[in-house]
Chain A
Amino acid sequence: MRNWVLAVLLTMIVAAPARAVLQVDVNQGNIQPLPIAIPDFVAASPGDTGASQNIAKVVRADLERSGLFKPLNPKSFIEQITNINIAPNFSNWRVLTAQGLVTGQAALQADGRLRVDFRLWDVYGENQMLGLQFYTQPVNWRRIAHMISDAIYQRITGEKGYFDTRIVFISESGPALSRKKRLAIMDEDGANPSFLTNGYLVLTPRFNPSAQMIAYMSYIAGKPRVYLFDLESGRQEKLGDFPNMTFSPRFSPDGNFVAMSLEQGGNSDIYVMDLRTRKTTRLTFDPSIDTSPSFSPDGKQITFESDRGGSQQIYIMNADGSNQHRVSFGEGRNGTPVWSPRGDLIAFTKQSNGAFRIGVMRPDGTTERVLSNGWEDEGPTWAPNGRVLMFTRTIQGGRGSQIWSIDVTGSNQRRVATPGDASDPAWSPLIQ
């Protein structure tokens, strides 16, 4: 990703902010998706390789998947956009009930780069809300499409988008009694999947804040330990040299620390390792299961799970291990807490009445809401904007695992496209 050369010209072609006609309130569940027209982009160069159509297609899919937008069928369009520098005839789009219109063009430059322009129009306000221009190598057209989706999402909802992100996960294949698990990575929309490991059990990957490094658990040498995987070099490195199992790794928000569990004599406690000095500090000292740590976005606190009170429940401590206190008091067992990047919520797995479901609550344990409705849903991960969660859904009877996503409001529950069965998703920050 660091090789990603992208000149982004954030040109607000029309600076005047639109009247707030076109907007979506993301805080409401089950809203009516906003009708938006996204015709294929204009191919402005004879050497166009299909980017003009493909970019629009990806933008339509991104916005549709969010559940907040309803991209209209291009076959219904009356007006053909041939020049994005001329204002569209808005009445041609109003009759289709479109409230937003996205026009764009893709042009191959003499130097081999792809130039992509797009504009977002408020069909009822009859003005341009946003105009951006991108230059990139043609091979990166998908990322341009996701960046355009993010820009549209942000302009209309007021929240940052999450389309230009990646998912690291565990790809599953083979029979239930001899499951093969591989570390895998893909774009947020399921495109560009690739496998990073092969042939030994791997579990629970998580990104560092730059999305360059993955911490995960591997049985590669016959001993379960936390490893780091550097995406740029492909290098894998065992994190520390511990006599027993290390597991459940998670990076601090500044990327300098990894919190994880270390098992000794059957007892699991949480430690934090400074990646710069490799110095390890023990944070919990209880003869209970203490695991699944997750930092608050300011790095000052860690939420984790412990059965020290008799059953698996969610706790919070300061990042130095002080002030450990229980925060989940709802029914059943509650585990795998993950702090939202916005800081406002903790997502977790609730086990009650024979089912595992994904829930959210405030960090003080109040206002618990159960979101998903599977038989065994577990292990939530947040989109970088804190609006959407992905999680593992295991199908009853050894029929495999899938990755699903759900809006934090509880709406828009849907399966995430993966190559085959998949589990343990971790959502990257927005790619830099």
Chain B
Amino acid sequence: MKNFSAGLKLAAIAFAVVLAGCETKPPPAQPAQPQAPIVTQAPSIVPGSAEDLRVNVGDTVHFDYNKYAILAPDMATLQRQAAWLAKYPSVRVTIEGHADERGTREYNLALGARRANAVKETLVSLGVSAGRVDTISYGKERPICTDSNESCWAQNRRGVTIIASGANS
């Protein structure tokens, strides 16, 4: 859900920037008034697509520091993922396991593998066939936030479900 609203906000800001760019006269003081209809004009999301999974289902779960247990708030995300995978049975996914920078490189590769596997096992327990789910660990090699503080590290400690094949486009 967080991702959903973030996506909307991005679309709105993008439109506002375009408006500002088209402005030819000096008074540019009112571009931050995106009208509601514009948001609904964003390209519609194809059901069963990678974007559908990312935006409408939620592709990411997070972990505590140096832990790989699925946290309670993320169970709902994984339940939605399992339901979505049941709806689109030709889809195969890969779970990426990631760690924050506060671990040594090889340990974090192993930790990322633990996290990816924890997501996989949860999906399997929710009825997804194990053969449809691959895992890959990136350790601390693929951060999405680079500040050296807990808020950033928390974002980087994640498991991300990505489409491997079989999605609509």
Contact = CB atoms under 8 A, between A and B. Distances in A.
Interface of A: 176-177, 179, 181, 201, 203-204, 217, 222-224, 244-245, 247-248, 261, 263, 265-268, 289, 291-292, 305, 307, 312, 335-336, 349, 351, 356, 375-376, 378-379, 392, 394, 396-398, 424
Given A176-B143, A263-B113, A335 B137 contact: no
Contact of A356 (B68, B104, B109): B104
Nearest to B94: A222
B114 interface: yes
A324 B101 CA distance: 29
Contacts of A336: 104-107
B97 to A, nearest CB: 8
Nearest to A223: B136
Contacts of A261: 106, 110
A312 B107 contact: yes
Nearest to B137: A245
A247 B109 contact: yes
28 contacts: A203-B105, A203-B141, A204-B106, A222-B136, A224-B137, A244-B135, A245-B109, A263-B113, A266-B115, A266-B117, A289-B111, A289-B114, A291-B110, A292-B104, A305-B107, A307-B107, A312-B104, A312-B107, A335-B107, A336-B105, A336-B106, A336-B107, A349-B104, A356-B104, A379-B104, A396-B148, A398-B143, A398-B146
B118 interface: yes
A342 B111 CA distance: 32
Contact of B147 (A223, A267, A268, A398): A398
Contacts of A247: 106, 109-110
Contacts of B113: 244-245, 263, 266, 268
A248 B110 CA distance: 10
Given A263-B113, A266-B114, A176 B106 contact: no
Given A307-B107, A378-B104, 14 more contacts: A222-B136, A223-B136, A244-B135, A247-B106, A289-B107, A291-B107, A292-B104, A312-B104, A335-B104, A378-B105, A392-B105, A397-B146, A398-B147, A424-B105
Contact of A397 (B110, B114, B118, B147): B147
Contacts of B109: 203, 217, 224, 245, 247-248, 268, 291
A201 B141 contact: yes
A181 B143 CA distance: 14
Describe B's contact surface by its main secondary structure: mixed
Most buried by A among B111, B113, B121: B113
A291 B104 CA distance: 11
B118 A266 contact: yes
Interface in B75-114: 101-107, 109-111, 113-114
Nearest to A291: B106
Contacts of B110: 247, 261, 263, 268, 289, 291
A60 B144 CA distance: 44
A182 B3 CA distance: 33
Nearest to A175: B146
A98 to B, nearest CB: 44
A312 to B, nearest CB: 6
Given A266-B68, A268-B113, A394-B101, A224 B136 contact: yes
Given A204-B105, A248-B106, A289-B111, A265 B117 contact: yes
Contacts of A307: 107
Contacts of B138: 201
A379 B107 CA distance: 11
Nearest to A392: B105
Most buried by B among A261, A268, A379, A396: A268
B116 interface: yes
Given A265-B117, A266-B113, A177 B106 contact: no
A222 B111 CA distance: 19
A329 B138 CA distance: 29
Interface in B132-161: 135-139, 141, 143-144, 146-148
A201 B138 CA distance: 9
